[in-house]
Structures are given as C-alpha cells and as structure tokens.
A and B are shown apart, each in its own frame.
Chain A
Amino acid sequence: MLCRRLNRWLGGDESRVDSRTIYVGHRPSTTEAFIPPKFCDNRIVSSKYTVWNFLPKNLFEQFRRIANFYFLIIFLVQVIVDTPTSPVTSGLPLFFVITVTAIKQGYEDWLRHKADNEVNKYPVTVLENGRRMGTESEKIKVGDVVEVNEDETFPCDLILLQSTRDDDTCFVTTASLDGESNHKTHYTVPDTEKDLDSLSATIECEQPQPDLYKFVGRMHIYKTDREPEIRSLGPENLLLKGATLKNTQRICGVAVYTGMETKMALNYQGKSQKRSAVEKSINAFLLVYLCILVSKALVCTTLKYVWQSKPGQDEPWYNQKTQREKETNLYLKMFTDFLSFMVLFNFIIPVSMYVTVEMQKFLGSFFITWDRDFYDPEIQEGALVNTSDLNEELGQVEYVFTDKTGTLTQNNMEFIECCIDGFQYKYRDAVSELDGFSATDGPVSKLQEKAGKEREELFLRALCLCHTVQVKEPTGRGQDHTDSMAGVDGMEGCPPPHEQTGFIASSPDEVALVKGAMRYGFTFLGMESKKMKIMNRSNAIETYDLLHVLNFDPVRRRMSVIVRSKSGDALLFCKGADSSIFPRVRQEEVEKIRVHVERNATEGYRTLCVAYKKLSPEEYARADADLQAARLALQDREEKLIAVYNQVEAGMTLIGATAVEDRLQEEAAETMEALQGAGIKVWVLTGDKMETAKSTCYACRLFQRGTELLELTVRTLEDGVRKREERLHDLLLEYHKKAVQDVPPTKPGGSRGWSKPSQDFGFIIDGASLSMVFNSSESSSSHYKNLFLQICQNCTTVLCCRMAPLQKAQIVKMVKCSKGSPITLSIGDGANDVSMILEAHVGIGIKGKEGRQAVRNSDYAIPKLKHLKKLLLGHGHLYYVRIAHLVQYFFYKNLCFILPQFLYQFFCGYSQQPLYDAAYLTMYNICFTSMPILAYSLLEQHICVEVLLDNATLYRSIAKNAMLRWVPFLYWTLLGVFHGLLFFFGVRFLFGNPALQANGQVFGNWSYGTIVFTVLVFTVTFKLALDTRHWTWINHFVIWGSLCFYVIFSFFWGGIIWPFLKQQRLYYVFAHMLSSASAWLVIVLLILLSLLPDILLVVLRKPLGPRARQLSENCHPQTFRLQLLHHYPTNISRKESSGGHEVVEQQEQHQQQEPFRTSFQSGP
C-alpha cells in the first residue's frame, strides 16, 4: 500500500516500475539522453505542523473529534441565538480544552522539529570526485557515496561498499530501530573496487518498503575493459538509517534510500488505534444522555407554548415583548427556543469528561511503568507502556493467547542429550568429564563408545558448523580479537573463556547446540573471512570454508550450511525439525532415531535432527550456480531460493538428533493457574511440535491430570481408511457432543474453571487441521468453524501447535469476533507473535531474547510472563474499576447538576432562566468537582493489590464490563435523578417563604440557585468520598481542598464588584446565604438525605458481601493454595503474609525475596 502510494508520488516512469535504478560514481557514458531519476531528499520530516499551518491544521484536527465538534456547535448557537447563558460558559471550557490539547501537541511537534533538525543538520562526509566533502545530512542525494565513522549513525539507507575491516564486514547495532542491542554483521558488496573514485555502477533495487529485514537488489559494476559484473544485494549489504556503526573504524556506502523513504521513516507510521470497550460504553451512555438532553429541550419547548397559549400568560403587562419578538415567525421562535433549551441543558454532556478520561489514562499508565514488581534485574528494565488507551481493558480479559517459546518457557536453551546413530548420550555423563577435558587422549571413552568414533566426530562437527552463531568480540576493537582469543585458547587445559556468554545468535537453540558440542570437545572459535574455525578434541584447529548458508525459515523448519573441508570435500550439514528432516534422509536410518526424538519430545525437550551429505564437485557446482542465480533474482527471490534449497537438501544421511531443554519461565504455572482462576481461558498458540507443547502445558498445569484431551491433529485424522475430511467431520461432531452437549449447562455469569466440578476438557489442534477447518469446502466451512469454536469455548485450555504466525492471528480474530465479542489478550515475545499481538484487543510483548519486534508492536511490554498476573489481576482490575467509576460518576454528577435547572423551567414560565450563575455553570466541571474524581480514578484501590493477586476469583466480579452495563448505569442515573429532584424541591419548599434571614429580608432567585448549587457541590463530592475506599493524603487534600475552594471562590466571586461583569448578580449572595440559619439547615438536611440511600446500601450490602467472599475463599482457593504450597515452597511466606494488609510488612517480604529471586535466575 505504502509503496504504491509512494510510487504514485514519485511520478514519471518510476511509478510504473517495481524497482529503482541508482547511478553510482560516473554516469554511464552512453550517448542517449540521461534523465536523472528523481528521488526525495534526505530530509526527515516527522513533524506534523509548521509555524504557519499549526493553528488551522491543529484546530481542524481537534474539531474532527465528534465531542469537540458538538461543543463548538453549542458555542456557535450561543453566539448566534439569544440564549440564556452567555457564550463564555461553554466557550471557556472548550477554549481551555482546545488550548491545552493544542499546547501539548504543539510542544510534541516542537520536539519533533528539534529532533528532525538535529538529524537533518548532522554533519556527514560525502565522497565526491575523489574529494571528501563535509555537508549536512539533509543534503545527501540518492547515489552519493557517504563515509561513516565508528559510533556514528547512518544518515540514510546505505549499500555497504567498503569497510576498514579486513574481512569486508562491519558491525552494526540496530538498537534504535528494533531494540536489539547485539552486533549484527553486514557485508560489503563482494569484489567492489578498492578505489571508490573509479567505481562506476548502477544499483537496481526494489522500491522503498518498510520491512526492516527485507531488501532485494542487484548491482551492476561497470569496468572499462570488461563486461559489467552483477552482484546480488540482500539485507546483509544494507545499512539502515538509524543504526549505529560499531567495532569498525570507517565504512563507505552508497545511499539508496533517503529521507522519508528510508526504512526507518517508513516504519515511523503509527499503528492502528485500538479502542477499549469502556470507550464504547461511554459512547453508548453519551447517546442516552443526548436523548435525555433533546427530550428535555423538547418537553420544555412544547410546554412553553402550551403554557403561553393560556390568556394572559404570554405577554403580561409587566413583561411586554419587543417589536422584533412580535414579528418573528412562530416556528422560528419555537426553533430558537428549542436551541436555547439545548444550550441551557448542554452541561449534561460535559467537555471535561473527555479531558479527565484522557488525563486519567495518560497519568494512570505511569503506575505500570513505575511498578518495581515489573522490574527485571536480569535485563534491567521494567514494564513499558506503548499505549495508555487500553489500561482498563487489562481488567476485562477473557481469553489469553500465549506463545510458548520464550513466553511460557524461558527460551534459555540447555543442551540435554544427543543421540548418534541411535545411541543415547546423556549430557549428564559429560558433566563429570568436563573436568577431564585436558586429558586429550581419551575422547572415545567420554562418549562411552556407543557409536563409532567417526560418526561421533562427524556429528559434533556438524553441530559446530551448522549454525549462524557469532563469537562475541571482546572489548577490544576490530581485528585483534581472534588473535587474543587464539592466545587464550592456546593455553592447554583451560576451558575457553567465552563459555558462558561468548556466543551471539538469532536463536538460542543454536547457542545451546554449539555449547553442547563444546562440552564434548569440539569448540567453535569463530569466523574469519568466510572460514570457520573449530578446535577439535585433540585441540587442533580445523578450518572450513563456508560456502553457503541456507538460512533457517519457519516454513522449511531447517537450515543448512555448505562448507569445504581442508581435504577439499564439499559437505552439506543440515539440521532441522524431525518432520522436515525425516523425509529427506534415507528411510532405514530414521526408525532408530525416531524413538529417541519422540521420547525426548514427550519429555518437553526441543529436538532437532542432524543430517549431512557429501557433495560431489559436480553436485556442488550445480548447487552453487543455482543458489547464485536464485540470489540474484529480483522477482520472487524467496520462492526461487526455497526451491533451490529443497533441491539441495535431499538424499542426506541422518547422523543423529539433539535434545535441548527449554526451561519454564519463573512462576509460569502459578501465573497460568491464577489466570484460570480469574476465569480467563488460556490458549497456547505455538509453532512447536505437539508433544513438546503438550508437555509444556502439563508443566504449566494448563492441562491437569484429570483433563480429558480432545485431539484434532494430523495424527488423529489419519488413523482410519476414510478421507481426512470425513474424519474431521466425525471428530468434530464427537468432540462437540462430548464437550458441549453432554456438559450440564453451567450457570450464566461466568462460573467456569475450577469452581465447576464437572469434567475439564483440553483441546489440541495443529496447524494442518486448523487450515482444514478453515478452508474446507464452502458449505461446511462455517459449520466446522462454529463447531470448533463451541468446542474450544467449552474447554479450559486449548493448545494450538504447529501454527504459522498468520494462523495465530486467525484464531485470535475468530475468538474476537465470536458471540459476545470477548476481550482477547495476546502475549508473545517473538516476531512470529506480532500478528496475533496486533490482532488481539490487548497485545503484550515480552522483552525476551528473540529481538524486540513483539515489544515494538505491543501495547504493553513486560520483562517476564509472571508479570502478567499482576498486570491483569492487579493493575487491570484497579484501572477498570477506576475508569468505570469515573465514567459513571461523571454522568451522574452532570445529571444532578442539570436536573434542577430543568425543573426550574416549570417555575419560571419556561423562559430558559438559568438556575445557577454563569460562573458556577462554567466552573462546576472544571474546578469544583473535577479534581476529586481525577484523584480517585488514579489512586483508588477498593481492594488492595495483594488481596487481588491472592484471590484471582475477584477478577471475575468485574468480568464482562460489569460496572458499565445498563444496570449500574441505570442505578447511577436514578441516583442522579433522585439527587436532582431532592436538591430542587428541598429548596423549593424552603422558599415557600423566602423571608429566610433573621432580619426578615427575603432571598431572590440567585440565592435559590446558590443554595441548590452548594448542596450539589457538597453532595456530589461527599458521594465520591463515600465511594473512596482508599484515602491517601492526596484524596484528602483534593476532596477537602475542592470544597474549600468552592467556598472561597464563592466568597470572592460575590465579594467584589467585578468591573468586567455587566451584572453583579451574585454580589454578596453567598455571604447572605451563609448568614441565614435556615439555609444552613436546609443544606445539611439535603446533603444527608441525598447520601442516606448510599450509606444504607453500603451498610446493608456488608453482611452479604464478605460472607459470600469468605465462602468462596473457604471452599476453592484453599485447595488452590495448598497446591501452591506444595509446589512452590518459596511462596509460603508471601501467601501467608498477604492476609494482613500491612504495607510495611509486604515490602519487607519483597526485599527478602529479592536476593533469592536473583540467585534463582542467574543459577542455571
């Protein structure tokens, strides 16, 4: 999409081509007219506004929001039509809101301008005609050769031409792009001229596209006397803008993408906005209130004309109409009257609610970032909040979709055992012998002579060679690392120093395998100009030429290398998943290894099979040519490469298999159990094998011993003679009967999980079967999908294995769109989880080992899985309660604010006479009642966090948007109506005799309004105080402060003749009110009477509330706790202490646990 749009902008010929051509150095000396292609300059413009367009553009964008637009309309009506309240009353809050937003956005844009300038004015060096020219970054054009020094960032996307390193590589860190701080190796274009001045070449490459990891291009190098040479360009040749050069003194590269076309800039696009369920509720309520508003205005307008039709009422002698009024058309008058009433009652929908909600979300999200429980000492980071719009959604999650590797498990691989030719080698055996490593003469004895020495060594060599692991460079720079390391390695008998942290790889499996091989005596020493060095058991160094790397991809599920040994043989080593290796090796070898692989898999280990093949020179030559050709292809390169790979990786010999353990994340089982206790259904979506995934599920206690597993996998589908489709149909029906129809109907209200005594079901499905469910013939597809969904929804846990990333998203989408549209949450750590993270309502990234893509695309990122528990049960619950209360309270307080004004119309001849003074109308939402609710919505903990975490069931009490459904809304609305009626009529009866002062003087209409308003402000604030369960000093300050402010303001407002006011309506009204004992008494009376039902409700709910909770605590969680105690003795202290809500004690507990936790982590 974006590419296409960009293409359109570029115009001309470019728009029709899929690639761009860049001329490097001298122009081709052709006689034909040369039209330099137009590319954009290297200016980064991330700012939205300029000084000139800021005001109109910003205003336009702000008024595109429906709420702002509504208030603008109200304001305009007030300006145009003769309305009861001055335009200031709605104009001022609107102006305030707009200004604050504009200032915030302007400031952000100013920061962006500054950052842009910093980037654009950055000094760079460009090589031009052999001279080095200093210039500014923004002046770089496509085709310029740019020089970059160490630790500088690249000013645009460059093709690496020259590096000061001997091996034509350079190191780069892309920390600012994707957060991966490891050094990545990039390669120069092979065989380019050393002298860049004389370089003359064209580069053809694809149009800019945002994928950071994809790049396809071709470079034609023209030499004066020879045919142009063609080199393929891949992502390994491309240095991205924003990345930093490391460990390399200087590089030169040619700019291919500049400015807004760089991959960094293309990735800058914001993600699509996710909206929370609460927002939808707000909109629904808004609609209701809008209806109330309109109907109020309609009622008043109608009644006004009915009332006026009575003789004498329309125009009494004391209040005659003006000439203009008499002449105005009746219907026009009615319409303006209607508008006037709308304006008078418009305060029922407050501007400030949006501001407050947004502020609450923005400020509230800081508590997640600040939470020390989310801090992980290992990676030294805490949680990250990418969007604050979804805080409350965390309290509403019904489905959790979790990745397995790196999420449920640590992705911290440990080599457990291997099997060579069917003989098993336990790593445990080797541990003791590691000490005897220096005994160089007995390699055979170490492996206990199970397989032949030849095969053993071949296997270990395969482990050492078949990978893409890098040896981490020591702190010294550049070239000397291999020397120094060789020096260390040369010392006999010392284990290599880089045993713990020495390797960097994209996947931790590979490191585990290389380390495993090291345990057995084969050490990978590193790569040096395409030569792989390994040290064998006799401490001799073997070197292999690395000819080709056939990269790993999730579709093939294997990777291979082709190396040339000293002897000149070309060898292909291949490792991969059993399912992808077994069909490609000779079948007679498979059986003896399959047993081991399957046994290992059921134990929860990750298994890989290793195979090799000797390539004859002819075979190699053909493979080499094919690979080169495929790599040069500009179109469909991926497909062509895979075809060649499949062709090369055939007819191999199976050597053995490895088993690597992936440990469970800390507290994974506890977290999962807590989630299930909270009524959340956990689905595991993994690309891993079924057996491995199943064992992980058992280990996490997602499956329990009593769980009946319903399997829908290729295996269960294929045991019959019938066709797969039929079998699928039968199985689905069978499972549906079992899990859906035969289960006694559970009580509505979400009492699922372990509170249900009946049978638990677990469902297992694999990718192939899933695609059958989704893609079977048209008619049955939706039926199958339905069956599948129903089965899944009745199972406690669903395991989907062998999933492609897109299938993960498909599943999330299916659940998301199912009946009741449940709130989904996806959690994952790798690039393969991004699709589901983006798809789910809430996406959570784990700051794991597989890079940062997941974190970048997530809404929230946490360091460990165990933090999910507090994020949902603690923060999520609190945020939900806070925002739900905030929303309901806002509607309530505006209803009882405006209702007296509505009622007053019945007593003032429907003349739109405002009850309150304009200042009160304006300030009510901005000053008098805004702060307490904001403080409440930030600080409230109706149940303290520790209790929430210990009683997962509490999470169910707010499930399904419980606090924002129509019943609670109705309660709040009725409360608002009750209060409004009370305020108005209470004062109305008092004013039966307006002589309320001790000196017999009477009160007028503004006194009436002020008394009502005083009662209103106090009641509304006290109502909030009554709901506050957690009084910090801030709450005290804000609640009592607001009331004090109201009183002081009223004195002040009425105490001075304000020169800018036309009418001093409230002059000394408040003071006179306070001098009247009756006013005091009625205020106290009405406040108390309004709060009485609430107090009663709180008190009468008490005897039922805690009892119900005690009951549930006594039955189920008790057993739950016992289980925990049994499995996690370390948690005893915490569990027990949480009974008392002592904050200090809790902190001590934390501190005590800290050292234990860290030691636990750094242990293995």
Chain B
Amino acid sequence: MSKEENTANRPDNTAFTQQRLPAWQPMLSAGIVIPGFVIIGVAFIGIGVALFVTSQNIQVLEKDYTGIETNSSCFKCTNPRVKNCNCTINFSLDKLFEGPVFVYYGLSNYFQNYRKYGASKDAAQLTGDLAYFTEPSTSCVPYQRDAKNKPIVPCGSIANSMFNDTFKLFQIVNSGNVAVPLDGKGIAWWTDYNIKYRNPTTNPLKNAFNDTVKPIFWPRPAYELDTTNAANNGFINQDFLVWMRRSALPNFRKLYRRITEGEYAKGLPAGDYALVIGYNYPVKAFDGRKKVVFSNVSWMGGKNQFLGIAYLVIGSLCVVMSIVMLIVYAKFKFPDEE
C-alpha cells in the first residue's frame, strides 16, 4: 500500500480544520482586573472632574416668556387675537457674561419628533427642484396645497410651523438702549446650509416661487425670510435650517443667534438688559412653554451636568469595586495564582 493511498482520505492537518488555530485565551484574573479598575476609575474621576468644572463654569441665563402668569409682561400676547405683539423682559447681569454668548429659544411639550410631522416635508422641493414646486409631495398633506389648490412652497408641517418669534437684545445704559448685535450666521449645520438644502438657481429667487403660495402660518414668503440679508433667504435661511433639523425630545432648545460682533464679542458686561420679544408663536393651546436661553459654550457644548456627575459616579464606583475585589481576593488567597 503506497503512502499516498494511505493518506488520500485523511483530513488535512491544518490548524483550522483541527480546531487548533493559535488562540489568545484572555483570563480576566484579579491581577489584571483590579489594577484595570483602579486605572479606569481614576481616569473617569479625572474626566468627571474636568467635565464638572467645565460645566460649572458655563453661564446660563434662562427666561421663560410664555406669559402664563398674569403679571408677566408677555401675558398680553397670549391672546391669539393680538397681532404683532411685542413684550419686553428685563434682566440684569451682576458680572460679565463671558462670550461668545449663544442665544437659544426653547420649547417644551412640543413634539417635533412626531412621526407624521417629521415625514411632512418634501425633500426634493427643498433641494431646489422646481418640478416639485408645482407638484409637492403628498407627504405634505394637509399642507400640500392651500384652499385655492395652489401649491405651498415649502410644503409640509415642519416648514409651516417654523418658529417665528423674534428677539432683540438691548443693554440699558445711561444714554439709553444700546442694541446688542445678534449674529444669525453659523447657527445651522454647515452641511445643511451648503449641501443638503438648495435654493432654485432662478434669479431673482422670487421668480421661482411664482404660482406658489407661502405656508399658511408664515407671515412672509420663503424668499423674504430675512429682509436684511438677501443671501439668507429661501431654503437656506439659517433659522429655517435650524428649525428643519427636528429635535429629538419634546423639550428642546434651538440655536437662535450668537453674539460675536463688536464689543459684545467678549461677553455681555454686567448691567441691565432688555429683551424685546416679537411674540408670534402660539404654544398655549398645547400647554407648551417658550423660553429664551443665554449661554456660553465650552469644548463639550452647552451646560450639561449629567456627564460630569455620571463620570464621577462611575469612576468612584470602579475604585470602590476594585477595593471590594481586593478584599474578596485576599480572603480567597488568590486561588488563581497557579
């Protein structure tokens, strides 16, 4: 019998077929885990402290201006029959509010994450495709066409319900009110502004909107959203972009303006301020609240105590557990030391 014959049926002797692939067999022994836990714990505590301190240093000023309370200055505006209502909220800073200061508006009990609401837009229209100006997607119903069957541009619930309160901030100084310049640039994602949303190439922009109507709720058509800056109109209006990025939770805030110009770029100096609100957006019907938030940001974004505390807790938990384990192992006299 030849040798070849002998081995013809014999399975291959490879590491794989014989399940003998060289393998790393990690053993989570006390010698690794206890120091590991200590290191992780210490690192987490370190990060936690950094986060906590950072978060503590962020200054936040929140002003609810819904006007539920009768003594609130905005109470008068809650009546839906009142049009173009303005109200003023006065506040004073006793120390420098460090810049750059970000102005947010916040809404609560507002379900921007409602599925039907979120689907109610026409993405093709928003990329400037004129074909969809005349024939908006059916997903926009009931904000697809107006009563005269004219197409609504931009169509859909999201666009229709765009936040339209306005804020003006004045510092009250001896000589009178000094307007604090609010910068509306760079509040939306760069990719949204430059790539995802596009205006039709028609020039002037207004012509593209012929035979269409503005969303029912809007005071002005899309091409006149920003009367001060012609480039900030249509679908690439920054406020519009911010609004179109739906919030994740029913209580949310969205970026409204930044204070980056002039002498206020370094922050709001201590003193008295008046916030003049163009009160247009109704929230009372659904028990919502509106607020305006002044905040500065750090490398971790806005103020968020949660992360710092969580890191501190987990870090100390790790350290505690490593101590517990040390005791347990000391009792068992390290049985896995072979």
A residues near B, CB below 8 A? 84, 312-313, 316-323, 366-367, 369-372, 374-375, 377, 380-382, 907-909, 911-914, 939, 941, 944-945, 986, 988-1005, 1007-1009, 1029-1035, 1057, 1062-1064, 1067-1068, 1072, 1076-1078, 1081-1082, 1085, 1088-1089, 1092, 1095-1096, 1098-1100, 1102-1103, 1106-1107, 1110, 1143, 1146-1147
B9 engages A1106 (CB within 8 Å)? no
A-B contact pairs, 27 of them (CB 8 A): A318-B160, A319-B116, A322-B142, A372-B11, A374-B11, A382-B10, A907-B250, A908-B115, A944-B25, A992-B306, A993-B302, A995-B102, A998-B300, A1000-B255, A1004-B246, A1030-B23, A1030-B25, A1032-B23, A1062-B123, A1067-B195, A1076-B301, A1081-B47, A1081-B51, A1098-B28, A1099-B325, A1102-B29, A1143-B22
C-alpha spacing A541/B29, complex, angstroms: 80
A1099 engages B33 (CB within 8 Å)? yes
Q: In whole Å, how far is A1024's beta carbon from the nearest beta carbon of chain B?
A: 13
Q: In whole Å, how far is A960's beta carbon from the nearest beta carbon of chain B?
A: 26
Q: In whole Å, how far is B303's beta carbon from the nearest beta carbon of chain A?
A: 6
Q: Which residues of A contact B297 (CB under 8 A)?
A: 995, 998-1000
Main secondary structure of the interface of A (DSSP, over half): loop
Q: Which residue of A lies closest to B303 (CB)?
A: A993
A372 engages B18 (CB within 8 Å)? yes
Q: If A1033-B21, A1088-B314, A1095-B28 touch, does A1005 touch B118 (CB 8 Å cutoff)?
A: yes
C-alpha spacing A194/B301, complex, angstroms: 104
B28, B287, B311, B318: the one contacting A1099 at CB < 8 Å is: B28
B301 engages A1000 (CB within 8 Å)? yes
A370 engages B248 (CB within 8 Å)? no
C-alpha spacing A467/B110, complex, angstroms: 96
C-alpha spacing A818/B299, complex, angstroms: 68
A382 engages B11 (CB within 8 Å)? yes
C-alpha spacing A255/B301, complex, angstroms: 89
Q: In whole Å, how far is A986's beta carbon from the nearest beta carbon of chain B?
A: 8
A1001 engages B189 (CB within 8 Å)? yes
Closest 8 CB pairs of A and B: A318-B161, A995-B302, A1008-B248, A370-B17, A911-B115, A1032-B21, A1103-B332, A913-B115
Q: In whole Å, how far is B110's beta carbon from the nearest beta carbon of chain A?
A: 8
Say whether B63 faces chain A, with CB atoms less than 8 Å apart: no
Say whether B208 faces chain A, with CB atoms less than 8 Å apart: no
Q: Which residues of A contact B12 (CB under 8 A)?
A: 370
Given contacts A316-B111, A380-B8, 13 further A-B contacts (CB under 8 A): A377-B6, A908-B113, A913-B113, A990-B304, A995-B102, A1000-B255, A1001-B188, A1002-B247, A1005-B247, A1032-B21, A1078-B301, A1103-B329, A1107-B332
B24 engages A322 (CB within 8 Å)? no
Q: Which residue of A lies closest to B103 (CB)?
A: A1000
Q: Which residues of B contact A1062 (CB under 8 A)?
A: 123-124
Say whether B179 faces chain A, with CB atoms less than 8 Å apart: no
Q: Which residue of A lies closest to B20 (CB)?
A: A1143
Q: Which residues of B contact A909 (CB under 8 A)?
A: 111, 113-114, 250
Say whether B295 faces chain A, with CB atoms less than 8 Å apart: yes
Q: Which residues of A contact B25 (CB under 8 A)?
A: 944, 1029-1031
Q: In whole Å, how far is B107's beta carbon from the nearest beta carbon of chain A?
A: 10
Say whether B277 faces chain A, with CB atoms less than 8 Å apart: no
C-alpha spacing A370/B19, complex, angstroms: 9
B246 engages A1031 (CB within 8 Å)? no
C-alpha spacing A1029/B304, complex, angstroms: 39
B314 engages A367 (CB within 8 Å)? no
Q: Which residues of B contact A997 (CB under 8 A)?
A: 301
Q: If A318-B161, A321-B142, A913-B115 touch, does A1002 touch B23 (CB 8 Å cutoff)?
A: no
Q: Which residues of A contact B100 (CB under 8 A)?
A: 1000
Q: In whole Å, how far is B309's beta carbon from the nearest beta carbon of chain A?
A: 9
Q: Which residue of A lies closest to B321 (CB)?
A: A1096
A1003 engages B20 (CB within 8 Å)? no
B117 engages A318 (CB within 8 Å)? yes
Q: Which residues of A contact B248 (CB under 8 A)?
A: 907, 991, 994, 1003-1005, 1007-1009
B118, B301, B306: the one contacting A998 at CB < 8 Å is: B301
**For chain B residues 219-252, which have a beta carbon within 8 Å of chain A?**
242, 245-250, 252
Q: In whole Å, how far is B268's beta carbon from the nearest beta carbon of chain A?
A: 15
B314 engages A1089 (CB within 8 Å)? yes
Q: Which residues of A contact B287 (CB under 8 A)?
A: 312
Q: In whole Å, how far is A698's beta carbon from the nearest beta carbon of chain B?
A: 35
What per-residue 1/0 map shows which CB atoms of B165-188 lie under 8 Å from chain A?
Answer: 000000000000000000000111
Max chain A C-beta neighbours (<10 A), residue from B13, B40, B118, B161: B118
C-alpha spacing A308/B287, complex, angstroms: 13
Q: If A369-B11, A911-B114, A1099-B33 touch, does A995 touch B255 (CB 8 Å cutoff)?
A: yes
C-alpha spacing A321/B25, complex, angstroms: 59
Q: In whole Å, how far is A868's beta carbon from the nearest beta carbon of chain B?
A: 18
Q: Which residues of A contact B189 (CB under 8 A)?
A: 1001, 1068, 1072
Q: Which residues of B contact A1063 (CB under 8 A)?
A: 123
Q: Which residues of B contact A1001 (CB under 8 A)?
A: 187-189, 255
What per-residue 1/0 map shows which CB atoms of B299-338 lie under 8 Å from chain A?
Answer: 1111110110011001001100100010011001001100
Q: In whole Å, how far is A1070's beta carbon from the nearest beta carbon of chain B?
A: 11
Q: Which residue of A lies closest to B244 (CB)?
A: A1004
B111 engages A1081 (CB within 8 Å)? no
Q: Which residue of A lies closest to B318 (CB)?
A: A1092
C-alpha spacing A381/B26, complex, angstroms: 36
C-alpha spacing A366/B17, complex, angstroms: 8
Q: Which residue of A lies closest to B117 (CB)?
A: A319
Q: If A909-B114, A941-B19 touch, does A382 touch B9 (CB 8 Å cutoff)?
A: yes
C-alpha spacing A914/B250, complex, angstroms: 15
Q: Which residues of A contact B66 (CB under 8 A)?
A: none
B247 engages A1004 (CB within 8 Å)? yes
What per-residue 1/0 map shows which CB atoms of B114-132 lie under 8 Å from chain A?
Answer: 1111101001100000000
Q: In whole Å, how far is B325's beta carbon from the nearest beta carbon of chain A?
A: 6
Say whether B267 faces chain A, with CB atoms less than 8 Å apart: no
Max chain A C-beta neighbours (<10 A), residue from B10, B23, B29, B258: B23
Q: Which residue of A lies closest to B282 (CB)?
A: A317
Say whether B147 faces chain A, with CB atoms less than 8 Å apart: no
B13, B28, B161, B329: the one contacting A372 at CB < 8 Å is: B13
Max chain A C-beta neighbours (<10 A), residue from B29, B47, B116: B116
Max chain A C-beta neighbours (<10 A), residue from B113, B192, B253: B113
C-alpha spacing A665/B252, complex, angstroms: 77
B11 engages A1085 (CB within 8 Å)? no
C-alpha spacing A1099/B40, complex, angstroms: 16
B328 engages A1100 (CB within 8 Å)? yes
Say whether B298 faces chain A, with CB atoms less than 8 Å apart: yes
C-alpha spacing A986/B142, complex, angstroms: 36
Q: Which residue of A lies closest to B284 (CB)?
A: A312
A941, A1077, A1085: the one contacting B311 at CB < 8 Å is: A1085
Q: In whole Å, how far is B29's beta carbon from the nearest beta carbon of chain A?
A: 7
Q: In whole Å, how far is A95's beta carbon from the nearest beta carbon of chain B?
A: 24
Q: If A992-B304, A1030-B23, A1077-B299 touch, does A312 touch B321 (CB 8 Å cutoff)?
A: no
A1004 engages B22 (CB within 8 Å)? no
B22 engages A994 (CB within 8 Å)? no
Say whether B141 faces chain A, with CB atoms less than 8 Å apart: yes
B157 engages A318 (CB within 8 Å)? yes
B285 engages A1106 (CB within 8 Å)? no
B253 engages A994 (CB within 8 Å)? yes
Q: Which residue of A lies closest to B163 (CB)?
A: A318
C-alpha spacing A55/B162, complex, angstroms: 52
Say whether B290 faces chain A, with CB atoms less than 8 Å apart: no
C-alpha spacing A630/B252, complex, angstroms: 97
Q: In whole Å, how far is A83's beta carbon from the nearest beta carbon of chain B?
A: 10
Q: If A317-B285, A908-B114 touch, does A990 touch B307 (CB 8 Å cutoff)?
A: yes
Q: If A1078-B301, A1085-B314 touch, does A371 touch B246 (CB 8 Å cutoff)?
A: no
Say whether B191 faces chain A, with CB atoms less than 8 Å apart: yes
B336 engages A1103 (CB within 8 Å)? yes
B247, B258, B282, B311: the one contacting A994 at CB < 8 Å is: B247
C-alpha spacing A84/B9, complex, angstroms: 56
